Amino acid sequence: DVKVTQSSRYLVKRTGEKVFLECVQDMDHENMFWYRQDPGLGLRLIYFSYDVKMKEKGDIPEGYSVSREKKERFSLILESASTNQTSMYLCASSFPSAGGDNEQFFGPGTRLTVL
Amino acid sequence: GENVEQHPSTLSVQEGDSAVIKCTYSDSASNYFPWYKQELGKGPQLIIDIRSNVGEKKDQRIAVTLNKTAKHFSLHITETQPEDSAVYFCAALPRGGGGNKLTFGTGTQLKVEL
């Protein structure tokens, strides 16, 4: 069974803090993703990584950065958290495919509140 | 880039009835359309998908139809059960969308009432 785990289910931070969200997958997937989920907006891609140390911006990268030092781990970093970054954050992973149509496996999410 | 619209945002049906969720997409080059189901407290999970060379696909009580000309696709759930209650997301993948980067719809909260 594919397993994608996220370091925290709930997180409360203060405005201006540096925040790290960690994601680990155990299926040797090359691709890893970070999304944020907001009511009425669905899932929006923040960053994507297709290999160790490789990353691409998604649709809403502003205010975020990522790190992928090992294949199984993908970290999302909020350099200076702001209240508009209060959201549910979902990590996902998948094998690559020529057509890009492989299933993405999601973690349970981290609900981040920035006060 | 691709834009995916999903309707309705909420849907309430009686147990045993059918449910239909509709999505439209903007990029005619999109060629892969998955549906994900998100149960409470969990991440989304793929339940069915369709590729642009197929018009319909069925898996037990769920089916997906695709109309490439109109650029819309739909999820059909028959004989709904309480465990079908969840949030459903459609998505589209543009052709050449390297890296499996999907564009998701805004989600439909389905409630199956006893």
Whether A8 and A16 have beta carbons less than 8 Å apart is answered as no
pLDDT given for residue B1 in this prediction:
80
The whole-angstrom distance between residue A87's C-alpha and the CA centroid of its chain comes to 12
At CB < 8 Å, which residues of chain B contact A? 1, 6, 9, 31-32, 34, 36, 41-46, 49, 51, 89, 93, 97-102, 104-107
Residue A7 touches partner B, C-beta closer than 8 Å: no
Question: Phi-psi category of B96—alpha, beta or left, where left has phi over 0 and alpha has psi -120 to 50?
Answer: left
pLDDT band, very low/low/confident/very high, at A49 (cuts 50, 70, 90): very high
Rounded to an integer, what distance in angstroms lies between the CA atom of residue A8 and that of residue A46? Answer: 18
The number of C-beta contacts closer than 8 angstroms across A and B is 70
pLDDT at B97 > cutoff 70: no
> Contacts of residue A107 in chain B, CB cutoff 8 Å?
43
pLDDT band, very low/low/confident/very high, at B72 (cuts 50, 70, 90): very high
pLDDT given for residue B14 in this prediction:
97
Pairwise CB contact (< 8 Å): A42 & B46? no
Instruction: Give the pLDDT mean for B25-29.
Output: 92
pLDDT at A34 > cutoff 60: yes
Rounded to an integer, what distance in angstroms lies between the CA atom of residue A91 and that of residue A76? Answer: 9
pLDDT band, very low/low/confident/very high, at B52 (cuts 50, 70, 90): confident
Instruction: Give the pLDDT mean for A26-33.
Output: 93
